[in-house]
Amino acid sequence: MAKFHFVSAHFGGNVPWRNQISSQKHEISVAYYDDSNTPSRHLAMHPRLKAKIPKMLEWKFVNSEWYVWMDSSIKLKDKDPVDKIIEALKDKPICLFRHSYGNSIEYEAKRVLSSLEMKSEYIQKRYQGEPIKEQLIHYLGDPTFTDNKLFGMTFFVYHKSVKKLFEDWFIENLLWSIEDQISFPYVLSKSGIEYSLFDGFID
């Protein structure tokens, strides 16, 4: 029997929905953080950065064997997904989704920068003023890093043994931009940790 902790968060607005999760064979726990149960630090932290705490640091607050992050936009098709997750893990400590339309952080960074130049309201609300160009230059300037991966970080699974990787990821979001898809391939590459991939892409 495995022990899984599912976590989601939605700050700065009304909660869109909550997934109902259960398991017949495994021990699970579920946490959903929002403004009603986790008051915001309005003078110190933007809601988008605040959500990175449960996304990357839930292991600091909840003891589990495995952690499953789900963005608040995710709707599970299966209320009992644990066996499928275990199968996808393939004995690796992390399981990720491939990005649906890119395969490098350079692609993702340039996509965001282009959308900012075109004054996309959606992108401006999220990344206006973030040092994405400087972050890209910094990462690509590292001769030990090969930029050939990009992941969809709205849903992922990791084992408690690799929690340091997620702490490093959180720090990158503080030092650089909160566009966390840009920083994750870099910290993953630097860690040397093996991972598996879910089939397909997130709908």
| Contact assessment for residue 28 and residue 52, using Cβ atoms and an 8 Å cutoff | no
Model pLDDT, residue 203? 55
Question: Quick one: which H or E segment has residue 191?
Answer: helix 180-191
Give 4: exposed, middle or buried? Use CB within 10 Å, 0-12, 13-18, 19+.
buried
Torsion of CA 94, 99, 103, 109, to 10 degrees: -110
For residue 201, the model assigns a pLDDT of 81
Q: What CA–CA distance (Å, rounded) separates 58 from 67?
A: 8
pTM of the model: 0.95
The closest of 49, 60, 61, 19 to 155, measured between CA atoms, is 19
pLDDT for residue 41: 87
Question: Digits of tens for pLDDT over the chain (203 positions)?
Answer: 899 999 999 998 888 889 999 898 999 999 999 999 998 888 888 889 999 999 999 999 999 999 999 999 999 988 899 999 999 999 999 999 999 989 999 999 999 999 999 999 999 999 999 999 999 999 999 999 999 999 999 999 999 999 999 999 999 999 999 999 999 999 999 999 999 999 988 75
